Chains A and B, each alone.
Chain A
Amino acid sequence: MARMKFYCDPERCIECNGCVTACKNENENENENENENEVPWGVNRRRVVTIKDGEPGERSLSVACMHCSDAPCATVCPVDCFYTTADGVVLHDKDICIGCGYCFYACPFGAPQFPKDGAFATRGKMDKCTFCAGGPEVDHSAEEHRKYGSNRLAEGKLPLCAEMCSTKALLAGDADVISDVYRKRIINRGASVLARGVSFQDASFRSPRDVSGKSSAKE
């Protein structure tokens, strides 16, 4: 059986936040009542984090639920509302969730989100990335869409965030396939370093060797 994973390539991510927007757009419907939207206000299932913003070595990564094989959220949940699908997607049942926040404490990636409502507000029911795989309800039912957003996996499609990624930095799919894609990229990058005979450092800045551009400055 396939094991669905996300992979984000920091060498390719350009921090366009297209994945965040795509996710928000895909998993939202036009309900009058804002509380009825499956991705509630103030909740983003996916986010792009930039490390060393504005410094040399700046890299961006898009992160959401990584659908862990041994998910810590599922371990700590006091009401046991998580389950892993046959595709290796970690989902949760909002009818059982009590909004205690423990999954958020345990999650390595900060994926679980809670709609909140002013000071003293207790958390609402947890919401997180579903790998565009809906929830425990019948596939494509109105109920499922209202609670969890779209179910692209059941249509044979991959999550929209990865599908929309303009640089193909964000990969989603079977772990074997996307790790193959990524392995090839690494090999190509390594080969380009060897072929150009420059250090990895220089290669990553794309510094040209023996190539001189035109300059208006007179030597």
Chain B
Amino acid sequence: MGEFIDGPLWTFSVSVFAIGVIWRIIAIVKAGVRTDLSQPRGSSGAGAFRAVFSRFIPERTVTQRGRLQFVAGYMFHLGLFALLIFAKPHVDFIAERITGFDWPAMPHWAFIVAAEFAFAGIIPLWLHRLLNPVTRMLSDLDDHIGTVLVFVVMLTGCLALAQSFEPLRLLHLFLAELLLIYFPFSKLMHAFTFVLSRGYTGATMGRKGVNA
């Protein structure tokens, strides 16, 4: 069981993840943009580039009316990505299994702070999704599966923090593999596609000469 999780299932899940993500991105890119015959009033490329970054800053109405989602959302995403990329066990694991080289990892205290942020973010966000009538109506099964998977991967990761009990590590790895397999077929793809959607809007607006 442990060997299966550590070996074949890992290879399979990473393959599914990589192929799936590339396939979906290519599919979106290949769909292309509608040809616009009008005279361009600005650069679509600059507009796309600007939009990708300017959309990180939310509109004022969002910061006011959706303060919980705004604050908790940033806490969760920043914490999660810090953990994913700069946690020492992850750096070691990725260096050993994928890249072959490593990079400086976070010190232990930063690791803990990032984990606190991520947990303090995801739990209220998940509850908000379940409790708020509007978000509950908007959410479908995919949203809930994605949230639950990310949450249990984070939770088992924190349970395995002692790094000395093989069953806990395998549980974390197994759930992470499930997440990787599920990833390309779900809304979790927004981790990559946000660039395309923002870019599309930004390019359209940029071409029209609208600074938006």
- A contact set with B: CB distance below 8 Å: 98-99, 117-122, 125
Of the residues A98, A99, A118, A125, contact of B108 by C-beta under 8 Å: A118
Q: Which residues from chain B contact A117 at a C-beta distance below 8 Å? A: 108
Verify if B35 is at the interface (C-beta below 8 Å from A): no
Q: Is the CB of A98 within 8 A of B109?
A: no
Q: How far is the CB of A115 from chain B (nearest CB, A)?
A: 12
CA distance A118 to B105 in the complex (A): 14
Verify if B29 is at the interface (C-beta below 8 Å from A): no
Minimal Cβ-Cβ distance residue in A for B113: A120
Minimal Cβ-Cβ distance residue in A for B112: A120
CA distance A9 to B113 in the complex (A): 48
Q: How far is the CB of A203 from chain B (nearest CB, A)?
A: 54
Verify if B100 is at the interface (C-beta below 8 Å from A): no
Q: How far is the CB of B184 from chain A (nearest CB, A)?
A: 36
Q: Is the CB of A120 within 8 A of B164?
A: no
Q: How far is the CB of B143 from chain A (nearest CB, A)?
A: 33
- In the complex, given contacts A118-B109, A120-B113, A122-B162, what are 14 additional A-B residue pairs having Cβ atoms less than 8 angstroms apart? A98-B162, A99-B162, A117-B108, A118-B107, A118-B108, A119-B108, A119-B109, A120-B108, A120-B109, A120-B112, A121-B108, A121-B109, A122-B161, A125-B164
Chain B 106-142 per-residue mask, 1 if CB under 8 angstroms from chain A, else 0: 0111001100000000000000000000000000000
CA distance A98 to B113 in the complex (A): 22
Instruction: Report whether over half of chain A's contact residues are helix, strand or loop; otherwise say mixed.
Output: loop
CA distance A98 to B168 in the complex (A): 13
Q: Which residues of chain B (144-169) have a CB below 8 Å from chain A?
A: 161-162, 164
Q: Which residues from chain A contact B109 at a C-beta distance below 8 Å? A: 118-121
CA distance A98 to B159 in the complex (A): 12
Q: Which residues from chain A contact B113 at a C-beta distance below 8 Å? A: 120
CA distance A118 to B88 in the complex (A): 14
Q: Which residues from chain B contact A99 at a C-beta distance below 8 Å? A: 162
Question: Which 4 A-B pairs have CB atoms at the shortest separation, nearest pair first?
Answer: A120-B109, A120-B112, A118-B108, A119-B109
Q: How far is the CB of B42 from chain A (nearest CB, A)?
A: 50
Subset of 16 A-B contacts with CB under 8 Å: A98-B162, A99-B162, A117-B108, A118-B107, A118-B108, A118-B109, A119-B108, A119-B109, A120-B109, A120-B112, A120-B113, A121-B108, A121-B109, A122-B161, A122-B162, A125-B164
Q: How far is the CB of A117 from chain B (nearest CB, A)?
A: 5
CA distance A106 to B104 in the complex (A): 39
CA distance A121 to B113 in the complex (A): 11
Q: Which residues from chain B contact A125 at a C-beta distance below 8 Å? A: 164
Q: Which residues from chain A contact B161 at a C-beta distance below 8 Å? A: 122
Minimal Cβ-Cβ distance residue in B for A119: B109
Q: Which residues from chain A contact B107 at a C-beta distance below 8 Å? A: 118
Q: How far is the CB of A147 from chain B (nearest CB, A)?
A: 11
Q: How far is the CB of A32 from chain B (nearest CB, A)?
A: 15
Q: Which residues from chain B contact A118 at a C-beta distance below 8 Å? A: 107-109
Minimal Cβ-Cβ distance residue in A for B107: A118
Q: Which of A99, A121, A125: most chain B CB closer than 10 A?
A: A121
Q: How far is the CB of B197 from chain A (nearest CB, A)?
A: 38
CA distance A74 to B26 in the complex (A): 61
Q: Which of A120, A121, A122, A125: most chain B CB closer than 10 A?
A: A120
Q: How far is the CB of A135 from chain B (nearest CB, A)?
A: 15
Minimal Cβ-Cβ distance residue in B for A35: B163
CA distance A120 to B108 in the complex (A): 7
Q: Which residues from chain B contact A98 at a C-beta distance below 8 Å? A: 162
Q: How far is the CB of B170 from chain A (nearest CB, A)?
A: 16
Q: How far is the CB of A127 from chain B (nearest CB, A)?
A: 13
Q: How far is the CB of A78 from chain B (nearest CB, A)?
A: 14
Minimal Cβ-Cβ distance residue in B for A94: B164
Q: How far is the CB of A42 from chain B (nearest CB, A)?
A: 14
CA distance A81 to B40 in the complex (A): 74
Q: Which residues from chain B contact A119 at a C-beta distance below 8 Å? A: 108-109
Minimal Cβ-Cβ distance residue in A for B116: A120
